Amino acid sequence: MPQWTGRRAAMPTMAFSPELDRLVAAQAGLVSIDQLLAAGVSSRVARRRVDSGAWARVTRGVYDLWPPAGQRWDWDHRRRRSAWAGLLAFGPEAIAVGTTALVLHGVQGIPVGVAPEVALPRASDRTTRDGIRLRQFDDGMTTVQIGGRAVATVERALAQAVPELPRAHALADLDSALHRRSTDPDGLARAHDLARGRRGVAATHALWGMADGRAESPLESFGRLDCVDAGVPPDVLQLPVLDADGRVVARGDMGWRLGGGRWLVAEMDGADVHSDPQAVYADRTRQNRLAAWGTIELLRFTGRDVPGGVGPAVRTFLGHRGALPAARPPEHGRGDRRARG
């Protein structure tokens, strides 16, 4: 049985077993009523905790034991919370699919407000409720276990999610799956084949071929797509900058050749980076090294510049330097995709 320890507002806080604490942490602060009952917490106690504001009711039979109480959860927590809300709402047989499965696999690029998606292995009269989407179970769907729950494989989840996502987020998911090595180019091709025939897939065919695991964040994917749409796709991702001894001193997110050994580099500054002071320092140090290099022209962008701000700015810059794609001389081979001091 839980023990009461101390006070929070008008209601005492509760100490749970280590097992329940670990479960709550693994499920982004959420638990089902069945899990509470198994831990010795009655439904009456759960109702009292909700009435006091200590807990929050997410949907029928699902409780949030970590309500924000004035604090702001980061985006990753919000996505994980949404995913677990879907699984817990439809019981132990529910399977995470689509974007929900991708979140649990750790793939980045899912929109924050996307509805959780689950499927049931057998026919059911249950329907979508409280913003949780119940999808039709795919024939031949393969799953893996994550946190003790069935989750669609990355390939299957990409096939389900990409046709329904905005283009920028779809590309970010594909890039992230490759970058995290959740799949490889062959796996991505299989996922593309699985997606054929789904509603919306026709608008995404080019994105599957554009996916590149060198993109290190969704914001880099958003910026790259903005440049592609503006007719100035980058020549290089993660451009290595070398010193006189051939050592890599920095890498630029996206690079374009300007001729004469010079490069334009576009850096995408993400909000997540700026939440960590050490990451901010490292990011600024890297960018200062790029800016100080004599062969590099540097443009900086943030999330506010996408969509519609990165590509046109790059195109204008390249135009002023006479380096737009159509004006460049034909290349022979891949060339040296490095910037040297």
Q: Calculate mean pLDDT across residues 220-237.
A: 96
Q: What is the mean pLDDT of residues 244-264?
A: 83
Helices (H), 70-182: 75-89, 98-105, 154-161, 167-179
**Model pLDDT, residue 286:** 58
Mean pLDDT of 219-248: 88
Task: Give the range of the structural domain holding residue 251, as residue numbers without chain letter.
Answer: 218-340
325 vs 258: CA distance, rounded Å:
10
Are residues 266 and 321 located together in one domain of the fold?
Answer: yes
Q: Is residue 42 part of a domain?
A: yes
User: Do both 196 and 223 map to the same domain?
Assistant: no
> How sure is the predictor about 295, in pLDDT bands with cuts at 50, 70 and 90?
confident
State how far the Cα of 170 lies from the Cα of 162, in Å rounded to an integer: 5
Q: Does residue 280 lie in a domain region?
A: yes
Reported as type and span, the H/E element at residue 319 is helix 310-320
Predicted pLDDT at 137? 78
Three-class DSSP category at 253? strand
Q: Say how far residue 42 (Cα) sits from the centre of its chain.
A: 36
Cα gap 170→164, rounded to integer Å = 8
What local confidence, expressed as pLDDT, does residue 11 receive?
36
Same domain, 224 and 310: yes
Whether 29 has a pLDDT exceeding 80, the answer reads: yes
pLDDT band at 285 (very low <50, low <70, confident <90, very high): low
Query: Over 50: is that where the pLDDT of 6 sits?
Result: no
45 lies in a domain? yes
Q: Residue type at 162?
A: V
The Cα–Cα gap between 66 and 110 comes to 22
Give me the number of domains the chain comprises.
Answer: 3
CA-to-CA distance for 150 and 138, rounded, in angstroms?
Answer: 14
Q: What is the structure's pLDDT at 229?
A: 96
Which residue matches tokens 């008008």?
10
pTM over 0.85: no
Same domain, 332 and 269: yes
For residues 184 and 225, membership in a common domain is answered with no
4 falls in which pLDDT band (50, 70, 90)? very low
Q: Is residue 69 assigned to a domain?
A: no
Kindly state whether residues 36 and 99 are assigned to the same domain: no
Residue 92 domain flag? yes
- The answer on pLDDT for 185 being more than 50 is yes
- Quick one: 139 and 253 in the same domain? no
Are residues 82 and 46 located together in one domain of the fold? no
Domain end point (choices 210, 241, 273): 210
Q: Give the pLDDT band of residue 72 (cuts 50, 70, 90).
A: low
Confidence of residue 334 (pLDDT cuts 50, 70, 90): very low
Express the helix, strand and coil content of the chain in percent, nearest 5 each: 40, 20, 40
Region 290-309: what's the mean pLDDT?
82
Q: Higher confidence at residue 331 or residue 235?
A: 235
| 320 domain-assigned | yes
How do residues 86-110 score in pLDDT, each as one tens digit? 999 999 999 999 999 999 999 999 9
Domain assignment present for residue 70? The answer is: no
Query: How far from the centroid of its chain's Cα atoms is residue 271's Cα?
Result: 13
pLDDT at site 8: 35
What pLDDT, on the 0 to 100 scale, is given for residue 331? 40
Shared domain check, 79 and 202: yes
Boundary-marking domain end, from 18, 41, 64: 64
What's the residue count for the chain? 341
Q: Which of 187, 210, 233 represents a domain boundary (last residue)?
A: 210
| 166 in the same domain as 229 | no
Residues 203 and 85 in one domain: yes
Let me know if residue 206 belongs to a domain.
Answer: yes
The one-character DSSP state at 271 is H
Q: Name residues whose C-beta falls within 8 Å of residue 285's C-beta, 6 or more positions apart in sequence.
A: none
